[in-house]
Structure 1
Amino acid sequence: MGLFGFLLVLHILSSIAFIGPAFVTPIIRRSARTVGQLHFVLGITAKLAIMPKIGGTGLILTGVGLMIITKMGLSQMWLNVSILLALLMVGLIDGWIEPRMKKIRKTISERQDQSNDIPAEFGLQLKKIVPIEMAAMLLMIAVLVLMVVKPF
């Protein structure tokens, strides 16, 4: 396996590290039924948040390396569109979802009673995040399709 194959494998592994937690986190979060469970789940998802940062860095480095090796640069439309969609996805996650989740985590950690049902106010805050999470997931799927199919 040459340099191209090595970079391609690292690129694919980086995309799994980048995208995987974003698909799993909402499912894990929705499983919480009590304040204690929600506190635990939010702690786990906060720890999972490092994976997209590592994966994103790997994606950028390996992607640039692949573009240099193939002498492709930014000449392909599918590549430009996928980079744009990925940046939009990162903006949604880091700029919209994460600040709201940090606020919820802080409020949950301040609660003394960890055994009762999740108050309606938290449920409402979490439900407001769901459409943005769905949009981010759809963007991830679009980027993956563009990277695999390379339609234009």
Structure 2
Amino acid sequence: MGLFSVLLVLHISASIAIIGPAFLMPFIRRSARTVGQMQFTLGITTKLAILPKIGGVVLGITGVGLMIITKMGLSQMWLNVSILLSLLMVVIIDGWIAPRMKKIVKIISETQDKGREIPTEFGLVLKKIIPVETAAQLLMIAILLLMVIKPF
């Protein structure tokens, strides 16, 4: 197996490591109905959050390697658009969603009554995050389509 094939397999594997957890984490969080369930789901999503970070580093390194091997550089419009959308997605997730989720995790972890329904204020904060998470998920789909179809 040549270097190109190895890089391509690693690149695709890294994209799966990013898209899988990042796409599913919001759905897992939204399924919680009690404080105990929310603590459990936040614990799971916190542990899964490492996969997109590792995958992002591998994706970047293998992507650059593939661009060098194929001598493509930044000459393809689909590649430029997908890189820009990826950067936008990182800003949305790390700059907007993650800080708000950290606050929620802290407050929920301090809540003692695990059987009680999730307090209304947390529900409101989560509802404000949902449209932004949906936008990030749509960006993931757009990036994936650009990488597979290479439309322009």
TM-score (norm 2): 0.98
- What secondary structure is seen at the aligned counterpart in 1 of 2:32? coil
1:108 deviates by 0.4
1:62 corresponds in structure 2 to 62
Q: 2: distance between equivalents of 1:97 and 1:9?
A: 30
> What is the identity, as a one-letter code, of the residue corresponding to 2:83?
I
1:53 corresponds in structure 2 to 53
Is 1:37 paired with 2:41? no
1:130 corresponds in structure 2 to 130
2:147 corresponds in structure 1 to 147
Q: 1: distance between equivalents of 2:25 and 2:145?
A: 21
Q: 2: distance between equivalents of 1:142 and 1:122?
A: 30
Q: 1: distance between equivalents of 2:140 and 2:111?
A: 34
1:18 deviates by 1.1
Cα deviation digits, residues 52-88 of structure 1 (max 9, x gap): 0000000000000000000001111110000000000
1:99 corresponds in structure 2 to 99
Q: 2: distance between equivalents of 1:95 and 1:141?
A: 20
Give the root-mean-square deviation of aligned CA atoms: 0.6
Q: How does 1:66-105 map to 2 (within 5 A)?
A: 66-105=66-105
1:147 deviates by 0.5
Q: 2: distance between equivalents of 1:12 and 1:41?
A: 27
1:112 deviates by 1.4
Q: 2: distance between equivalents of 1:28 and 1:81?
A: 30
Aligned residues: 152
Q: 2: distance between equivalents of 1:28 and 1:144?
A: 22
Q: Identical aligned pairs, as a percentage?
A: 76
Gaps of 5+ in 2: none
- What secondary structure is seen at the aligned counterpart in 1 of 2:72? coil
> What is the identity, as a one-letter code, of the residue corresponding to 2:110?
E
